[in-house]
Each structure stands twice: as structure tokens, then as C-alpha cells.
Amino acid sequence: MGEGLRLLKITVVRGKTLVIRDFKSSDPYVVVKLGNQTAKTRVINSCLNPVWNEELNFTLTEPLGLLNLEVFDKDVWKADDKMGKSYLNLQPLVSAARLRDILGSSCGETALRKVMPERDNCLVRESIINNNVNGEVVQNVWLRLDGVESGELELTIKLITRVAS
């Protein structure tokens, strides 16, 4: 996978049981960072269980870093409030893609790897990395938000390799 362009498509699907930062609710949005690349979702007003379904694109470069996420409450009159942060190690996804390339598995839905929740990750439940029918390596994850009383984020991550021409 050293050749070609590697594109990481992050779909921020939804948040669950986010913390209240305004009087009765919050106006959450998510900031996603990979290395020096940053993208953010739109603000969902007055919602603790927001559905974004927004795709954010990043170019994957070496050395491989962590995908960092931070949720904020949008405020008009003061600085935005922090609603938690999380991260995802992308190494299992990239390793699964390399395995797929080595095995030549390119057609049909194939499970490549299972990642379990551990102390050193933010996974809420196990996550399966699949090769889908389009030849993309896909991981669906639920991440726990740290530094707050509650909150989870659901993401779908697709690793797409384009051969250099």
C-alpha cells in the first residue's frame, strides 16, 4: 500500500447520550483531526442524540497517527463548550487493508479483522473490519467520549486506495 493515494472517508454517523452544556440541551458538532488535517460537522441544534451522517475526507500519510475527535457545544456569546473527546488507532484498519492486498481478496464481503475494546482504546464494543463488495476496507465503530459523564460517537471509516497513474 505504499504506492498510490490512500483516501480515508470518515462518516460521522451519530452521537448518543451527549452531555448537556446549555440550560436543557446542547448544540453539538464534531471536529475530526488526522495529523495536520482538520474537518468538522455541521451544528445540530438542541439535541443530545444528534444524527449527522456527514462524510469527511482525509489523505492518509505515513507515519500513521491517531484519528482524534472532539465534540463541542456551539455557543453564540462565549467560547464553545467541550463535550468530550475520543480517538481511534488507524493501524488495525491499514493492517487489514495490507492483508487484503496480500491475499488478493477483492470480491465480495469479507471480514478481515476484529478489534476488541481495551483500556488503551475508546471502543465501546467490538468492531469488525470488512472488505466490502466495492473493494473498500470498512470499519464501523462506536467510540466512548472521554473527559465527560456520558457520550458516544458512531463512525464508519472507509480506506480507499487509488493506484497512481
State the pLDDT at residue 162: 60
What torsion do the CA atoms of 76, 77, 79, 81 make, to the nearest 10 degrees?
-60
Model confidence at 4, pLDDT cuts 50, 70, 90, reads: low
**Residue extents of the structural domains in the chain:** 4-159
Query: pLDDT class for 68, splitting at 50, 70, 90?
Result: very high
Q: Residue 11, exposed/middle/buried by CB under 10 A (0-12, 13-18, 19+)? A: middle
Q: What is the pTM of this model?
A: 0.91
Burial letters 16-42, b for 16+ CB under 10 A, else e: bebbebeeeebbbbbbbbbeeeebebe
Dig out the grid coordinates for 2 from the structure: 505504499
Q: With 70 as the cut, is the pLDDT of residue 28 above it?
A: yes
Give me the pLDDT at residue 10, please: 97
The fold of the 4-159 domain, in CATH, is Immunoglobulin-like (2.60.40)
pLDDT at 164: 46
pLDDT of residue 2: 47
State phi, psi for 49 to the nearest 5 degrees: -130, 60
